[in-house]
Structure 1
C-alpha cells in the first residue's frame, strides 16, 4: 500500500561500512537550499559494522532523517532500496548512493524535473567513472571542498570540463534528449535517479535476486521503460562521486552472471548484447549499427 505523502521528496540512501562517505553525503544534503521540512532522508544500512548509526545521529536535529538497519546477509542493495521506497513519504523518491556529495539545489532540481508524472530522472555525477585512473586528481579537488558549499567545486568542474560523468558522451550524442536513445534504460543507474512514488506504486521494485554487484538497477529501469516511462537527464540535480577504490575487471566479473540473469528475464536483443557490451557503450553500439544499415 502506498503511504501518505508528507514531503516533496524522499532521498533514499543505501549504505554499507562507509561511515566517512556517508557523513560527507549527509553534510551536503544538510546544506540543501530547500527547507529541511520539505524532504526526508532515509538511510538504509545493509548490515554495517562501523559507526554508521552514530553518523546518522549527528543529523537528527538538522534534517528529517530516518535510519533503517537490516542484518548483514551479503550484498542486498536491492532490498535496501526497496525498504527505503516502502518507507518513503515523499512525492518523489530520489535514489542516491552514499558516496556522493550533492549541490545545494540537488533535491529541488529532482522535484522540479517531475512535471510529467511518468518521468524517470537521471541526475548528473561529476567524477563518476569505471576506473581509478584520475582518483588522485579528483581526491585533490575534493580535499579543497567545503561540504556546505559543494556548488563552488561543481562550478569549477563544469567550467573546466574536468571529471565529467561517464555517460557524458551518450548525453552529448543525443543532445540531452534521452528519448532519442535506443536504450535509455541502460544508463539509468541508481546512484542518482528519481521516480515519482505514485508511479512506483506497489508494483515497481528492485529484483532482490541480484546478490552481487551489477545490473539490478538496469533491471529496475528496464522494467519502468517497458511500462512506458520517459527518461530524462537533469544536469542541475548534480553531485560529485567521491573517489573510492574500484576495479573494472572485478566489477565485470561480478556483473556478467547478473546480465545473463537479466537477459533470461527480458529476452530482448539489447539485453543479449548487454552480456558482452558495457552498459554505457550500448547506445553508441546500437546507433552505429543503425547508421550502417541506413
Structure 2
C-alpha cells in the first residue's frame, strides 16, 4: 500500500459521502486506502461510510473514536494505516481526479511534508482551479497534507492534549521541522474545501476563535519560541491591543456590520475579520494571564 488517506469526521455524513465518492474517481493513482475515523458522531456517518465501503473500488476502513479530539482521531487512523505515506484531509472536501497522483509525485525525495493548495468554495458546484490566493506558507495543514508514516511515528504523532479546535497540526509541524523534515507546496495536489455560508455563521466562527486562543496558550507552553509566539499572535503589541483597544462596544459594532446584509460585501468581510480577530486576541490575552 502506497498511500493511506486519513479523514477524521463528526456528524457530517453528507460531507464524508461526497468526499469518499471523489476519491473513487482518481486517475493514475498509486495503491491507496481511506481510513475514516468517526469522532463521536450521532448521525448516520457509520452507515454512510459502511455503504460506501461496500461499493467502493478502493479499501475503506471505518473506526469509531468516542472522545471528541481531532488529534486522537487522526492518531487512531495513522496507527492502523498500511500506507507508506499518510495523507490527511478534512471531511468537507472534494478532490480532483489527479489528486493522489499529484501527492505521490511530489514525494520525489525523502523527508518531505507535502501541502497541497486548498480552494475554499461555497458549494459543490463551484470548481475553480487554484490561484495565487490559495498559496499557503504553512508547514502543515491537515486539510490537505501528506507525510511519510515513519516521520509521523518518529515524532510521536499528534499531541492529544490539544482537545479543542486549533493548533494541533501546527504543533505537529514544529516537531516534524525540528526532526529535519522539509516542507513542499504542490499546486497540482489541490482540492476544493466546501465552506457553506449557512454553516459558517458568526457564532460558530467566534466559538472556534475562542477555542483556538485557548489552544494557543497550550502551544506556547509547549513551544515558547519567538516563532510560535508570532504565529499565535502572542506578542506584546497584539496583547496590549487586546487589553486596551478592543472594548465590547467595538466588537459589537464589527459584529453588527458583518451581519448586515445591506452593507457592502467587502465592508462586511473586513468587519467579520476584525470581529473574529478581536475575539481571538482578547481570549488569548485572558488565557495567557491564567
Residue of 217, 228, 233 corresponding to 1:271: 228
CA contact (8 A) 1:204 1:224 kept: no
Considering only aligned residues, what root-mean-square deviation do their CA atoms show, in Å? 2.1
Matched, 1:195 2:195: no
- Does 2:79 correspond to 1:86? yes
- 2:13 corresponding residue in structure 1: 19
Partners in 2 of 1:31 and 1:259 — Cα distance? 38
Q: Tell me, yes or no, if the aligned pair for 1:12 and 1:43 is still in contact at 8 Å.
A: yes
TM-score (norm 1): 0.72
Matched, 1:64 2:59: yes
> 1:132 maps to what in 2?
none
**What does residue range 242-261 of structure 1 map to in structure 2 within 5 Å?**
242-244=194-196, 245-246=199-200, 247=202, 248-261=205-218
Among 179, 203, 207, the residue aligned to 1:227: 179
| Superposition pairs of residues 62-141 of structure 1, within 5 angstroms | 62=56, 63-71=58-66, 73=67, 75-127=68-120, 138-139=122-123
1:259–1:274 Cα contact (<8 Å) kept:
no
Distance in 2 (alpha carbons) for counterparts of 1:233 and 1:69 = 32
Separation in structure 2 between the aligned mates of residue 67 and residue 258 of structure 1, nearest angstrom: 28
Matches within 5 A, 1:163-242: 164-165=133-134, 168=135, 184-185=138-139, 188-242=140-194
CA contact (8 A) 1:204 1:223 kept: no
CA distance in 2, matches of 1:275, 1:15: 25
Instruction: Please state how far the C-alpha of 1:41 moved relative to its aligned partner.
Output: 0.4
User: Kindly tell me: are residues 267 and 106 of structure 1, through their superposed partners in 2, closer, same or farther at Cα, counting changes over 3 Å?
Assistant: same
SS in 1 for 2:52: coil
Runs of 4+ in 1 over 4 A off after TM superposition: none
What SS is found at the alignment partner of 2:34? strand
1:117–1:199 CA contact under 8 A, matched in 2: no
TM-score, normalised via structure 2 length: 0.73
Quick one: distance in 1 between partners of 2:25 and 2:9? 20
* Structure 1 residues without counterparts, runs of 5 or longer: 1-6, 128-134, 146-152, 172-183, 279-294
* Structure 2: distance between partners of 1:90 and 1:122: 18
Aligned-partner Cα distance in 2 for 1:200–1:57:
27
Shift of residue 204 of structure 1? 3.1
- Displacement of 1:218 after TM fit? 0.6
Q: Determine which structure has greater relative contact order: mean sequence separation of CA pairs < 8 Å that are 6+ residues apart, divided by chain length.
A: 1
Q: For the structure 1 residues 34 and 57, does the alpha-carbon distance in structure 2 shift closer, same or farther, using more than 3 Å as the test?
A: farther
CA shift at 1:202, angstroms? 4.7
Please tell me whether the aligned partners of residues 158 and 169 of structure 2 are also in contact (alpha carbons under 8 angstroms). Answer: yes
The answer to whether the Cα contact below 8 Å between 1:40 and 1:65 also exists between their aligned partners in 2 is: yes
Larger gyration radius, structure 1 or structure 2: 2
Alpha-carbon separation, structure 2, partners of 1:101 and 1:69:
23
| Superposed CA offset, 1:110-141 (max 9, x none) | 111112220001011111xxxxxxx7xx33xx
Measured after TM superposition, the shift of residue 105 of structure 1 is 0.9
Helix, strand or coil at the partner of 1:80: helix
Query: Secondary structure, in 3 states, of the residue corresponding to 1:206?
Result: coil
